Structure 1
């Protein structure tokens, strides 16, 4: 089910107009930044794991056949690698639209490779939203990803681009790696 969270995110305005801020990408934002930014830096957040538990009814699937895209789940001691972008607060409007299907802005601490850190935002889809699909057997998730297509393209492309981007960052993510291996073994339909 598609749920437009754009208006909810506009109320979750943790920053003022004209200010710059960091936004952390852990899914397609790592490899597909289609927004203006001042700076891009590899970073990680702590206490979160990436999981393909969010339904995509508007980008990588359809309402009848949703795809699966990344969200984060809390996991004490975990580290999630990704890419941080320093943007103008006004850039949040297009990002809110891009992440509209169940994702809400949340504040986190970003850790950079040089040891510095900064407050930033993530877009987080939790089990509270109607598009959340949750956990399932890995093979079932892989079959869903392998066959789903939406206005932004094949769901398998999203996963495989993410796996490649994480590899290029030198990031280890067992969930993404295992899903990518399974999806590669399934012939595209």
Structure 2
């Protein structure tokens, strides 16, 4: 068994929750980061959904890839399934990610299922702000999640004007 990689594009970037040997900036082609998932568990409830990020089809996404030791494979994947698949809104995929111009690895990714009832699709920024502003779930306040993600994207030199716009208004 070999080491494997996990691709993080939202809270996994700043709070992976699993042990890893190495963390590297990575680029995933064919999907983009989008605040397109109604959160019924971690950042909202079914009665008052929040919004969380999903990998939605098209474009590209810069994030972080984490190398996990082979002997931690089963535990790490079990942890990720419990965390990411609470309502089965994501589909688990192994996708190529670029670690550099000449280095590609297969990474475990969680891509939004567009047929799932939690798929919000593209929403206007004002509507996203409205939804996120008052939502709270098992993992905390929805605004905190968006602001933390925006901060980590900025720290990594990843520019996303939509997320920055939301974070600025949510932070106060």
TM-score, normalized by the shorter chain, greater than 0.5? yes
The 2-side partners of 1:126 and 1:177 are apart by 25
CA distance in 2, matches of 1:26, 1:132: 17
* C-alpha distance after superposition, 1:101-122 (max 9, x if no partner): 3112112111113631111111
SS of residue paired to 1:81 = strand
User: What is the aligned counterpart of 2:106 among 87, 99, 119?
Assistant: 119
Match of 2:56 in 1: 73
Counterpart pick for 1:94 among 54, 79, 85: 79
TM-score by length of 2: 0.89
CA distance in 1, matches of 2:133, 2:123: 15
4+ long deviations beyond 2 Å: 181-185
List gaps (5 residues or longer) in structure 2: none
SS at match of 2:81: helix
What RMSD in Å do the two structures reach over aligned CA positions? Answer: 1.5
Structure 2 partner of 1:12: none
The farther-off stretch of 51-60 and 172-181 is 172-181
Distance 1:26 1:99 in 2: 12
Which stretches in structure 1 are left out of the alignment for 5+ residues? 1-17
- What SS does structure 1 have at the residue aligned with 2:170? helix
Secondary structure at 2:127 match in 1: helix
**CA distance, structure 2, for counterparts of residue 67 and residue 98 of structure 1:** 16
Task: Tell me, yes or no, if structure 1 residue 150 matches structure 2 residue 137.
Answer: yes
